[in-house]
Amino acid sequence: MQLRAATPSGTMDLDLRRGSFTVTLNAICWKCSPLPASGFSSGEPAKPKTGEYWKRVGVWYGAGVSSMDDLERTISGLRKQIRQSVASNDHATLAELRVKLRQAEKQWDEALDELAPAAPATMSLLPLREQVHQALTVLTVAAAPKLIAAVHEAFFAGAMAGGQLTHLRRDEERSFRSAPHARPYYLCSAVTADRLTPVRGLLAVSTWPLERRVIGSLSPRVDFLTAAIRVAEHVLRPGAAGPHALQLLRRFAASIPGAWADADEVSPDMVMRAARAELDVHDHSDRVQRRAAAARASKQLDESQQLFGAAPLGVARQAGERR
């Protein structure tokens, strides 16, 4: 399809050979997503009238394409230069070129954003912390972001981006320190049994007993088995055995002796039985270690440390020295 549209600098021809181009334009047209400010003199872009619309799309799309072409040329030129200076070990030029590249890429990204129609909302409507809380409540044990995301995907609608969870714990800690107990629960840390410092990469719920949030040397296994049982129980609920849930259960089953007979079929009852059998082996020693550590923690740590863990030894000492 040939398209002729007016631009500020005259007219411009667009050759829309590809179906996908047309579709996108139609979608933009139909959605009336805000047009980029750069295409207009000032202020909020007003919703254009239908008649005017194609002209504007043309202006804006055409301008976007041509500047993006330039940018891409710049970017690929820069990358070439970078590779050359890497080869010749020219570090000074390299650093400079990298900065330029980053700028160009950023501009490209911005140009891309301008082309982008609004992202579809497929994410869960609940705030992230509540989704995490939901998943952890299913598991009843401290868990890593990846497992939390998998549980959420298995039993609650919508995907969760695991990467977003990294900042969550810090936000929660800040919130607790500024206004303790203002919220009904906090997403907090699990703490190591020996030094009571936060365990890397695990999230827990503040309302759980401290004993459950202390991680001894057998606890990762015990918690894994507990989580397997909880997931199996959940799968048994009516309507919960979706493909994601079964896949999750299969993942657990694979690492528990006697939890599966056939790689394709997974039975929640079998998983529970096998997990409980192994749990019986570890449970006592684990409980003793956790209980002792929890008792120590409740004596030695203040309230927020009990939730978010003691500072690592080195850091604590430095802090002490400064005082």
Partner 1 sequence: MENTEQRLSRLRGGGDPEAHNARTIAAMTRNPGCVRRAIMDAAGVDKPAVAAAVGHPTSIGRLSDFAVSRGISFETRVKSEGCAELLRLLREQLGLPVPQAHYEDLGSTGKGETVSGRYLRSKAMLDTAEQGTGTLFDHPLLRLSISGVWAYLEPDLVAFQLGEKFYVIEIKSFPVIDGVADASKVAASVTQSAVYVLALQSLLSEAGRDPGLVSHEVILVCPKDFSNQATATLVDVRKPLAALRRQLSRMDNIAALLHLLPANVTFDPELPAMELAQALTQASARYSPECLAACEMGSFCRAEAKGSTAILGRTVREDLGGVDAVSTALELATGRLQPTKDLLQAAHVLRLAQRMRTEALAR
Partner 2 sequence: MSTLTALARVQAAHHGAAQQICTVRHLHVHDRPLVLVPLTLAGETNAPLAAMVGDRHGNPQVLVVPRPRLREQRFVFVERLANIVLSYVDGFTDDVETLPAKRKDDEPRQRFTDAPQVWVPNPGGVEYLRLMGRMTRFRQTTGDYAVAAGVPQLGKWATWLAEQAEYPDSSVLVAATQALTGFWATGQSSLEDGNLAALMGWIAPPAGMTAEQAAATAEDPILCPPAGPATDPQFDRLVLAPALRDLEEAPSDAVRVRVQERLTLALREQMQPTWDRVWQAIGLLGAQQPGGSVEQRWAADRDRFSDFVAYLRDTGHPQAKRDSAVLGARKLHDMERRLANFEAQRAFDDPLVMGEQRMTGEAFTGIVTWSDPLRTVTLSRRVLRPGIVVETEDPLRLVAGDADLRDPQRPNQKASILRLSESAGKISVSLELQGGTGSGLTAPPGSVPAVGERVTYSRLQVSYMSPGQFPARDQTPWTHGGPPQPYAPATSDAAEDWS
Among 264, 269, 302, 321, binds partner 2 (CB under 8 A): 264
Kindly report the length of the chain: 323
Q: 232 and 269 in contact (C-beta within 8 Å)?
A: yes
Q: Which residues, 10 to 69, sit near partner 1 by CB under 8 A?
A: none
Could you say whether residue 153 binds partner 1 (CB under 8 A)?
Answer: no
To which residue do tokens 């082309």 refer? 115
Residue type, 199: V
Q: How far is the CB of 111 from partner 1 (least distance, A)?
A: 25
Q: How far is the CB of 68 from partner 1 (least distance, A)?
A: 25
Pairing of strands 2-7, 187-192: unpaired
How many Cα atoms are found within 13 Å in the side-chain-facing hemisphere of 2?
Answer: 4
Alpha-carbon span 155 to 47, nearest angstrom = 41
Could you say whether residue 44 binds partner 2 (CB under 8 A)?
Answer: no
CA nearest to 289, candidates 208, 211, 203: 211
Q: How far is the CB of 72 from partner 2 (least distance, A)?
A: 6
Could you say whether residue 68 binds partner 2 (CB under 8 A)?
Answer: yes
Q: 244 and 231 in contact (C-beta within 8 Å)?
A: no
Binding mask 13-42 for partner 2 (x = CB under 8 A): -----x-xx-xx--x---------------
Q: 7 and 59 in contact (C-beta within 8 Å)?
A: yes
By CB under 8 A, name the binding residues for partner 1. Answer: 87-89, 144, 146-147, 192, 195, 197, 199-200, 217-221, 223-224, 227, 252, 254-257, 278, 281-282, 285, 312-315, 317-318
Give the footprint of partner 2 on this chain (CB under 8 A): 18, 20-21, 23-24, 27, 68, 72, 76, 79-80, 82-84, 86-87, 105, 112-113, 115-117, 119, 263-264
